[in-house]
């Protein structure tokens, strides 16, 4: 991916800590690529004010306002459930294409298959990038991940949209700072945008979920001792759980890091499903791997952005007391407890591998 | 679906009890629609000799031989892992289309998207039916199945290709014979072929597995007190397990019937995965439903076709001893133990519903 993109991030009526995850991750990890956020309901504020990070990146009211900040590409910055194109966005995408801006989308609805968008892109020379478009040569998983020596860590969650990608990105930075050769395997539109490669496992033909996860994991393992696979959905989220389960069985993690958010009481978009406990969630994941090979949950990563610091620290302590596992908020606090757990697990595994040879 | 189809079922080098499941189900349930099976390696035999059912339906060596038996449609009768078109089949499909035969396919590879096939079909007026092509308006599941009064029963398995569809079809016949208003919700290519409707949940965009299952279940519940949902894959099959898990969370069964095959020692195509026990499989399914609502496994349906009758009866008794649940082979023996378990469960549930109102 060219680093010269200057995105206008479209997040109309949705810019916020939990409602614009593609825009937010781009702002958190590549702020130099985002010149403005389009959300007319919050125009005049800054990313910092809305998200708590992102500095002076301005929120603007119109596409034209965004252009005054030097945008040269449009990023669809939210991922509505179901991944369809909100009707009101069509005019904005067309404006962008007509002005020659490349458009980056993480929707299930592929802009590149939309005849109107294609015609406008062709006329102006703009490019359309559908981050979720899967490769066309996927196949059923075979279990080949078992053959790699790298240690594979998958983030999983008590719910969707809870920090599984962010946790891996924070952990990668920390592990690399300690000199570990670490790879991040992107499995969703936002991770792919940041990493420049990956497969959106929620967008593949259902029979190939695990096959896609297997391919990603094998590729990432080529250059790394530690492979951090981006989790998706949750085994407790009735809409997305199939993707989560397939991702687990395709990536065959040696261990899990479990993500949670202490303030949540129910599963996203499913108020009929109470949030499972950390203990229940751990049991479910460990049992899911049992038929294939045992894989423990080795640490807890809590998302505490909506708690006071005191509340956050108490929640972290409570998680450790409940599970017996190291826990922290890897964004807000020192990620060392989780990083230490991964390093310790990896060292023990390497020791066993060496002893066995 | 017109009942005037006279299929030539293509199962080249694969016609057998476990290797040609689409052809086999068509022969078992609608033998009047199958005039011949094309498998040059077994030409001269009958379906009865190869499968143990199907009577005098002949196995032929060539497409032309099939035509002499009056075929007016071609059925691709096997489903290779990955669902791609075996290269040697292309010429046969073209022959069929050129002679004006409709072609029915359950592959992931859509014949109707293949320019060469489309051109030949158009020239002769033949139709192409891709049984696995999903509707284009699917969405994420919402849990609406909770609102229906019908009792939903899902078949699940210790492995894939073990009898989950056949079990439901046998149970439907038995339940209807007892006067129960029963619907079969088809979730795979073969079930759709037999039922004339359904969605192949393994072929939808991964995020919509549960949404597709929810839609199927709601539709089936409109006219039935008992909804028998066709299971797919297995929670222990690393290639297909995501589909299985999503199907469970989308159809939200009130209870499961667990299918097994006593002679199997390892998961299909995955010799590295030992067959989980019935007990382990029951625990995994019951835990998978725990975050949403409890659903027990209420009976065991064993596939004993490759055992002697004595062995089969011993295996059934062993299954009951292991699990405490009624068990039988619903194809080979009287299905009553499983049918009784479903009726008893349904009656108890109806009693609770009435009491609660």
Q: In 10 A of CB B147, how many CB atoms?
A: 8
End-to-end alpha-carbon separation of chain A, Å?
A: 41
| Dihedrals phi, psi of A287, to nearest 5 degrees | -70, -35
ipTM for the assembly: 0.94
The answer, for A19 touching chain B at a CB cutoff of 8 Å, is: no
Separation in Å, CA of A281 to nearest CA in chain B: 9
**Cα–Cα dist B336/B252, whole Å:** 24
pLDDT of residue B357: 83
Point out which residues pair with B9 in neighbouring strands.
Answer: B37, B75
Compare all CA atoms of chain B with the CA of A133 and give the residue at the minimum distance: B205
Contact (CB<8Å) A273/B291: yes
Three-state secondary-structure class, residue B297: strand
User: Which structure tokens are listed for A307?
Assistant: 């708690």
Separation in Å, CA of A95 to nearest CA in chain B: 27
Per the CB < 8 A criterion, the answer to whether B217 and B160 are in contact is no
Contact (CB<8Å) A280/B291: yes
Spell out the residues 6+ positions from residue A333 whose beta carbon is closer than 8 angstroms to its own. A312, A316
Q: Residues of B with CB below 8 A from A202's CB?
A: 205-207
pLDDT of residue B1: 44
Compare all CA atoms of chain B with the CA of A211 and give the residue at the minimum distance: B239
Instruction: Report in angstroms the alpha-carbon separations of A247 from A131, A185, A211, A213, A277.
Output: 18, 12, 9, 6, 21
pLDDT of residue B356: 87
Q: Which of residues 216-235 of B touch A (CB under 8 A)?
A: 235
Contact (CB<8Å) A291/B276: yes
Q: Which of residues 32-51 of B touch A (CB under 8 A)?
A: none
Contact (CB<8Å) A203/B204: no
**Cα–Cα dist B149/B160, whole Å:** 29
The answer, for A252 touching chain B at a CB cutoff of 8 Å, is: yes
Q: Where are the alpha helices (DSSP H) in chain B?
A: 21-29, 47-51, 63-68, 89-98, 115-124, 164-177, 189-195, 209-221, 241-251, 278-289, 309-323, 336-355
User: Which structure tokens are listed for B146?
Assistant: 């909770």
**Cα–Cα dist B197/B195, whole Å:** 5
Q: What is the DSSP letter of A41?
A: G
Per the CB < 8 A criterion, the answer to whether A183 and A217 are in contact is no
The answer, for B242 touching chain A at a CB cutoff of 8 Å, is: yes
pLDDT in tens, chain B (357 residues): 444 789 999 999 999 998 999 999 999 999 999 999 999 999 999 999 999 999 999 999 999 999 999 999 999 999 888 889 999 999 999 999 999 999 999 999 999 999 999 999 999 999 999 999 999 999 999 999 999 999 999 999 999 999 999 999 999 999 999 999 999 999 999 999 999 999 999 999 999 999 999 999 999 999 999 999 999 999 999 999 999 999 999 999 999 999 999 999 999 999 999 999 999 999 999 999 999 999 999 999 999 999 999 999 999 999 999 999 999 999 999 999 999 999 999 999 999 999 988
A130-151 residue pLDDT tens: 999 999 999 999 999 999 999 9
User: Which structure tokens are listed for B280?
Assistant: 């382990």
Residue A19 Cα to chain centre, angstroms: 13
Q: Which of residues 141-160 of B touch A (CB under 8 A)?
A: 141-143, 146
**Cα–Cα dist A340/B5, whole Å:** 65
Q: Quick one: average pLDDT of A222-246?
A: 97
Q: Residues of A with CB below 8 A from B142's CB?
A: 239, 269-270
A92-124 residue pLDDT tens: 999 999 999 999 999 999 999 999 999 999 999
Per the CB < 8 A criterion, the answer to whether A26 and A193 are in contact is yes
The answer, for B291 touching chain A at a CB cutoff of 8 Å, is: yes
Residue A204 Cα to chain centre, angstroms: 16
User: Which structure tokens are listed for B233?
Assistant: 């894959």
CA atoms within 13 A on the CB side of B241: 34
The answer, for A109 touching chain B at a CB cutoff of 8 Å, is: no
pLDDT at A2 over 90: no
Structural domains in chain A?
7-130 (3.40.50.720), 144-356 (3.40.50.300)
The answer, for A205 touching chain B at a CB cutoff of 8 Å, is: yes
Separation in Å, CA of B267 to nearest CA in chain A: 10
Q: Residues of A with CB below 8 A from B241's CB?
A: 210, 245-246, 249
* Pairing mode of beta strands B270-274, B266-267: antiparallel
* Pairing mode of beta strands A102-105, A128-130: parallel
The answer, for A245 touching chain B at a CB cutoff of 8 Å, is: yes
CA atoms within 13 A on the CB side of B31: 11
**Cα–Cα dist A168/A256, whole Å:** 11
* CA angle A227–A233–A239, rounded 5-degree value: 150
Spell out the residues 6+ positions from residue B56 whose beta carbon is closer than 8 angstroms to its own. B46, B47, B48
pLDDT of residue A1: 44
Per the CB < 8 A criterion, the answer to whether B43 and B65 are in contact is yes
Q: Quick one: average pLDDT of A271-288?
A: 96
* Pairing mode of beta strands A270-274, A266-267: antiparallel
* Pairing mode of beta strands A182-185, A226-229: parallel
* CA angle B183–B184–B190, rounded 5-degree value: 155
> Which of A336, A132, A299, A86 shows the shortest CA–CA distance to A232?
A132
Per the CB < 8 A criterion, the answer to whether B100 and B125 are in contact is yes
Q: Is the dihedral of CA B101, B107, B112, B118 positive or negative?
A: negative
Q: Which residues of B251-277 are buried (b: 16+ CB within 10 A; e: fewer)?
A: bbbbbbbbbbbbebeebbbbeebebbe
**Cα–Cα dist A98/A118, whole Å:** 11
Q: Residues of A with CB below 8 A from B143's CB?
A: 238, 270, 272-273
Separation in Å, CA of A203 to nearest CA in chain B: 5
């Amino acid at each position: 991916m060219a680093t010269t993109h200057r995105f206008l991030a479209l997040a109309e009526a949705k810019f916020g800590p939990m409602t614009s995850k593609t825009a937010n991750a781009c702002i958190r990890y590549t702020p130099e690529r985002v010149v403005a956020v389009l959300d007319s309901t919050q125009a005049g504020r800054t990313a910092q004010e809305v998200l708590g990070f992102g500095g002076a990146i301005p929120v603007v009211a119109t596409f034209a306002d965004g252009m005054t900040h030097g945008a040269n590409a449009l990023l669809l910055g939210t991922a509505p459930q179901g991944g369809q194109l909100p009707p009101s966005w069509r005019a904005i995408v067309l404006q962008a294409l007509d002005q020659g801006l490349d458009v980056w989308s993480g929707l299930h609805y592929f802009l590149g298959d939309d005849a109107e968008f294609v015609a406008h892109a062709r006329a102006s020379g703009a490019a359309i990038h559908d981050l979720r478009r899967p490769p066309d040569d996927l196949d059923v998983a075979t279990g080949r991940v078992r053959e790699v020596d790298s240690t594979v860590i998958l983030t999983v969650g008590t719910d969707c949209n809870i920090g599984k990608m962010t946790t891996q990105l924070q952990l990668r930075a920390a592990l690399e700072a300690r000199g570990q050769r670490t790879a991040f395997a992107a499995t969703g539109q936002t991770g792919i945008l940041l990493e420049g490669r990956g497969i959106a496992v929620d967008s593949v033909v259902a029979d190939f979920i695990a096959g896609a996860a297997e391919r990603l994991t094998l590729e990432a393992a080529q250059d790394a001792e530690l492979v951090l696979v981006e989790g998706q959905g949750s085994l407790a989220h009735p809409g997305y759980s199939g993707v989560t389960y397939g991702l687990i069985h395709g990536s065959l993690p040696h261990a899990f890091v479990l993500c949670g958010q202490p303030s949540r009481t129910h599963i996203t978009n499913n108020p009929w499903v109470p949030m499972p406990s950390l203990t229940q969630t751990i049991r479910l994941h460990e049992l899911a791997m049992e038929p294939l090979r045992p894989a423990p949950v080795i640490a807890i990563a809590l998302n505490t952005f909506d708690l006071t610091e005191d509340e956050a620290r108490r929640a972290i302590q409570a998680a450790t007391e409940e599970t017996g596992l190291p826990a922290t908020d890897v964004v807000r606090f020192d990620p060392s407890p989780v990083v230490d757990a991964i390093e310790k697990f990896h060292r023990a595994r390497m020791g066993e591998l060496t002893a066995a040879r």
